[in-house]
Structure 1
């Protein structure tokens, strides 16, 4: 099973988080990391385990790096039945109701097309003292159990 990590970022923090997640999963897997702006929804494969790393920009919008992927999901409307994904969001709690909304937008779009979210939705808070990559590494340890297909073994 392949692990595909897609990140959508405005400032580059999501790429660092994707690298931290990849480092943890690389012990038993060979994760691939892609910028969402350079990944086609037609390449989404139920045989892969998908990890989404997405920040929130402005007033709860998607970062510019995630917009092309989100737009393509809306335009192509792929059948994502069988796709399982985990979500790591970045945001800042000073924004209240829109805290970590970027990741939620992508998750809703994936779920609307049949994909299933698994594991805990991590929500990094930029107002905390916790570094995003440190939280990501800890979170990645907790999703390892979901990486293998349900019928494995």
Structure 2
């Protein structure tokens, strides 16, 4: 059993809804998952297993509720050595180069912070999946088995 801290960036509730389903799924899989609100650097430092779930806003930007944590991470550069981290990015491929931009930024930055990536980032395209759970369920099964 692993304790999994989920940090969510959401503007219109899609990422939040996916995070809630992910908590239920991971808990039923024998883990202890919870959404961390508010998303703080202290909570990130205390977590051993981290899942970021973020939608993308504007021109590939991180949503307002996750942006303060991301900016603080950039400012303080807390090394995540020894932490298992995974990222689910939500986006719309019709936006071209900014598709899943928030998740891509988070994913690239956690590598810089030396986190152990449990799985490759999952990009979920709103043009393909109206409900992100459909795309995330199998990926979360893999995550649950690796933690």
> What residue in structure 1 maps to residue 117 of structure 2?
117
Give the length in aligned residue pairs: 145
Task: Flag as ranges the 4+ runs of structure 1 deviating above 3 A.
Answer: none
Contact kept in structure 2, 1:20 and 1:136, CA below 8 Å: no
Q: Which residue of 2 aligns with 1:82?
A: 82
Deviates more, 1:47-56 or 1:87-96: 47-56
Match of 2:21 in 1: 20
Q: Secondary structure at the match of 2:36?
A: strand
Superimposed CA distance per residue, residues 82-132 of structure 1 (whole angstroms, 9 cap, x where no aligned partner): 111111110000011111110111122222122122213211111114411
* Cα RMSD (Å): 1.7
> What CA distance in whole angstroms lies between the structure 1 residues aligned with 2:146 and 2:56?
25
Q: What is aligned with 1:150?
A: none
Question: What TM-score, normalized to structure 2?
Answer: 0.89
Structure 1 residues 129 and 108, CA, compared in 2 at 3 Å: closer, same or farther?
A: closer
| 2:133 matches 1:133 | yes
CA contact (8 A) 2:5 2:47 kept: no
Q: Which residue of 2 aligns with 1:29?
A: 31
Counterpart secondary structure, 2:32: coil
Residue aligning to 1:151: none
Instruction: Give the direction of change, closer, same or farther, for the CA distance of 1:78–1:13 in structure 2 (3 Å limit).
Output: same
Alpha carbons 1:87, 1:122 under 8 Å: kept = yes
Q: Which residue does the alignment assign to 1:103?
A: 103
CA–CA distance in structure 2, aligned partners of residues 85 and 34 of structure 1: 14
| Runs of 5+ consecutive residues of structure 2 not aligned to the other structure | none
Aligned match of 1:3: 4
C-alpha displacement at 1:44, in angstroms?
A: 2.3
Q: TM-score, normalised by structure 1?
A: 0.86
Q: Distance in 1 between matches of 2:143 and 2:32?
A: 15
